[in-house]
Amino acid sequence: MNFPTAPGTTFRFVVGSADQAAQLIRDQLGDRARVLSVRNVAPGGLFGFMSAPRLEVVAQIAGPADSAPPAATPAETEPAASPALRRPSSPFADSPQRLTDLLRRSGFSEKLLLRLFESPAWLTLNELPLHRALVETGRHLRKLAPVRADAAPLTRAAFIGTPGAGRTTALCKWLSAEVFRRARIGHVITAEFDRPNPTGPLPVFCEALGVPLAHFPASTQPATLGAFVYFDLPGLSVRHPADNAALADFLERERITQRVLVLNAAYDHAALRAGYAAGRDLGATHVVFTHLDEVTQWGRLWDYLLDEDIQPLFLATGPSLTGDLEEDPLEAVARRTLPATAPAEEPETADDAAAETAHTFNAAA
């Protein structure tokens, strides 16, 4: 069945993978089709929770004079998407699948794979030896990451997150870096609203660092010029957004514009997306991922690292309060999912190339 191809015609379809989306666009819509948006949709029905998420793709037939497509509208449960790249005329389905399979096994989402498929660089990547293709894929993803050179350092920030995400531990890690590495001073404030906020090791840790800890109500402004003020706040609710009203009111009333969302990276994709969406609703400006020592597929974080609206702050890679953190999340995830350089000598066969790549590529079985 061939669909109408009049310029401006828009189509919406749901598929199971990026491969299916690329095949459908190629076969049914032709070379002038372009992707407007991609988002994950949860399957419905009684047993929907047992099924894998699917992709909702919106595509449009471009006119002869059309140039770049409009930006995609971010989905409520997904990181904001960059404008979709125009699909090249060469067929996706004819490209080798080994690169796609490796990326998928490393945790790359179907949404990110489709974004790669839409890139003019994709066909070139698939013409390279496998180990070299992985290196170039890493470089390509780094270019897609938003430039944040002008991002202001944290000075007066609230740490928010779902219960069990390691919010207080993340704050302790950041405090240790502030005091020991950057020689900064400041104080910490804990607060409770309509729910308790266990402080855990925070009081003892602050005392050991020499950082004053106060319970709200207390001064929420820096004590001296250049000092920091960090807030340890109660956990946010994902299932009942109305329960976050007191938290949102506090942030607005105290004019706390820097808001660090803490997420447990070991949670499944649905829980991560829900927590991310709840943090976005509360105006999150930064994100921290914890429990990376329990995660084998770091590639699942790429979607969030490429979000233009929320800046990755650091990755927590262990339970220590004074270390186990990566302050360059983009490079850390690239290092764990894609090799930085190709082997000095070309392997003799494709199987040898895959074996070489296995030493540096984090592909979970």
Instruction: Name the nearest CA neighbour of 37 among 1, 71, 4.
Output: 71
Coil vs helix vs strand at 286: strand
User: The domain at 156-329 falls in which architecture?
Assistant: 3-Layer(aba) Sandwich (3.40)
Residue 29: predicted pLDDT: 76
* 185 or 150, greater pLDDT: 185
Q: Tokens representing 151?
A: 């991002």
* 5 or 209, greater pLDDT: 209
In whole angstroms, give the CA distance from residue 89 to residue 96: 17
Residue 190: predicted pLDDT: 93
* pLDDT over 90, % of the chain: 32
DSSP string, 63-99: PTT--SPPPPPPPTTSPPPPPPPPPPSS-STTS-SHH
Q: Across 166-235, where does the E strand assignment appear? A: 186-190, 213-215, 228-232
* 55 or 158, greater pLDDT: 158
The pLDDT of residue 297 is above 70: yes
* pLDDT over 70, % of the chain: 75
Banded pLDDT at 104 (limits 50, 70, 90): confident
Mean pLDDT of the chain: 78
Top-confidence range, 31-35, 115-119, 163-167, 258-262: 258-262
Banded pLDDT at 183 (limits 50, 70, 90): very high
pTM of the model: 0.69
- Lowest-confidence segment of 30-44, 220-234, 266-280, 314-328 by average pLDDT: 30-44
Average pLDDT over residues 64-89: 42
What DSSP character marks residue 47? T
Reported as a single tens digit per residue, the pLDDT across 109-147 is 888 888 888 888 888 888 888 888 888 888 888 888 887
* Contact present, 330 and 304 (Cβ < 8 Å): no
160 sits in which H/E element = strand 156-161
Residue 362: predicted pLDDT: 41
Banded pLDDT at 248 (limits 50, 70, 90): very high
In whole angstroms, give the CA distance from residue 165 to residue 356: 36
Residue 42: predicted pLDDT: 60
* 152 or 361, greater pLDDT: 152
Reported as a single tens digit per residue, the pLDDT across 264-277 is 999 988 889 999 99
Instruction: Name the nearest CA neighbour of 75 among 48, 50, 61, 56.
Output: 56
In whole angstroms, give the CA distance from residue 167 to residue 225: 27
CATH 3.40.50.300 location in the chain: 156-329
